[in-house]
Structure 1
Amino acid sequence: MSNSGGVGKTTIAAHLAYSLAKKGYKTLVIELDQQDSFRLSTGLGIADPERSAAKIFQPDFKGDYPIVQIWQDHTENAFLIQGGAALRETPRAIEGYKRRYYILQDRLKKFPLDFDVILIDTPGGLEPFGTVILPAITHLIVVVEPDFKATTSGGLFLEWFYSNAIDLDLDPPPQILGFLPNTRQPEIAAHAKILDKENPNALPAILQEHETRCFPQIKFSAEFVNASDPSVGLPVFVYRPKAPALKGFTPVIQAIEECL
C-alpha cells in the first residue's frame, strides 16, 4: 500500500511474487489498480473487463476468480488476477453493499483461495480500496519514495491506519510488516538525508517512534524500467538476475517468510 501513486508498488509486488514463487510458495497477486500496469511485468495483454479483479466485487460473484498463471517458463507457482479499467466502477458497486468495507474479507471467507501467499497490489491513494482491504489482510507493506514528502506521508499513513483499524473494529488489526523506501538514487543528497538512521527527523526515526520497521531501500536501477518493456514482460530477477538493486528485496522476502 501507499498513500501516494507512482512509488513503485506494482514493481515491488511483481518482484516479491516472483521471488516467493521461485522459493516454492504458491503465490497469487490480486491487482486492484485500474491502470492494469502489472501486465508490464508479465507480458499479458490488457485485461478483459470480464476477467479482471472487478468481478470479485460484483453482486453475483460465485467464487469464480479470474486467475491466470504467469511466468510459466520460469515457475509453476505464480498466478495473477489482473486489474484494469473495469475497476473504475467498483467504488460505486461497493457503496451499494451493506458490509461495503468488509466485502473483500467476505468474499475470501465464503470462497477461500488455495494459495500459500496472496499479495494485493493497491492503487495510489488510500480510498476506497485501502479501507476495503484492511479487514481482509494479515500484513501490509507500505512503499514510499525517499523524498521529504515521505516523512510527512509516513506519519499520515500511520494515523490513517490506526484510525481505520479502530473504526472497523479489527481485532487483531493487520500487522505493518514495514515501510519500504523505493528507487533511492545515491546522487540525490535528499534521499540519503531522509533515510539517515541518525537523523531524528528522518523516516527511520519517525517509524521507530511507532515501533514500525523501515526496510533497507530498494535502490534505483534502469533494469526495472527495461524489464517492464511489454516485449520483455519479466521481473528483473529473470531479465538481469545479478542486478545490484535486487539485493534490497532479500530482507522483505525474509520478513514475509517469517509470517508463513
Structure 2
Amino acid sequence: MKGEKSNQKVWIYRLLIVGTLAASGASVGFYMFQFAGNDLSTDSGAWADFGAYLSGTVGVAAVTFTLFALILTLRQQDSIIEAQEEQIAKVDNHQRKIEAYSRAEKFFPTLRSSMNERLGACASAYLKGNGFPYPSSDFIPESATFGEIIYDYKLSVGLEESGQYYTSAICSLSVAEFCRLLIFVTECIEDAPELYDYFKYELSDVWHVIRCSHAFHKDIRKKDFERVRKALRLPEDYCGLDKTVAVWQGLGAN
C-alpha cells in the first residue's frame, strides 16, 4: 500500500516537471525561431518582450500543470481517506460482533431462565402473591400457568373475555415482559447476523411464545415490532397464520 502511494507521488511529480520543461522548451524554441538573431540582444525592450512572452506561455503552462497535479493529489487523498474509513468501519463492525457475542454469552442464559420460570408459574397465584387486584378470572382456571394461557387457544380466547385488570396483568407479566428478551436478541443479531441460528436454536422450544409476544406488540411498539421482525425473520401479520398468535395480536391492538 505504501509502495503504491509512493509510486503515485513520483508519477505526479514527473508529470509536473516533464510537462513544464516541455512547455518551456517549446515556447523558447518557437520564440527563437521567430525573432532571435545570431547574437544576444542588448536591447532591454527586447528582453522585456521576451519576459512577457515567457510569462504568458511558460507561466500559464506551469500553472496549468500545477493545477492538474493538485487535482491528482486531492483525488489520491480522497482515495486514502475512503480506504481509511473502510478500514475503520471494518474494525468497528468486528468490535460490535465481539461485543454481541459477549452479551449473548453473559446475559442471554439469565433472560432465557427468567422466561422459563415465568412460563411455568401459576398465573393467579403469582398475581395474588404480588398484590394485583382481580387476580382471577371466570374464564381462566385458577391453576393455569402463564405458559398454558399463551399456548392454549381456548385459554387465550378466555383471556380476551376476562376483565380488563386481569387481562392487562397477564399480558404485562408475560408477552409484554418477554419483549425485553426479543429486543436483546434483536440487538445482538443486528450487530452479529450470524447469531440468528444460535438464538433460533436456543429459542426453538418457545418459538410460539416469541411469536405471541411479537404479535402482541404490533400496534403498541411499531418500531420495535419491525426491528424484531427483520432480525428474527417473523411475519408482518399473524392473522390467518396461527389462530392463537392472532388472538394475542388482537389483545395488543385493544
Please tell me the TM-score bracket, short chain as reference.
Answer: under 0.3
- Which structure ranks higher in relative contact order (CA pairs < 8 Å, sequence separation ≥ 6)? 1
Whichever of the two has the greater Rg, that structure is 2
Q: Scaled by the length of structure 1, what TM-score is found?
A: 0.24
Q: Scaled by the length of structure 2, what TM-score is found?
A: 0.25
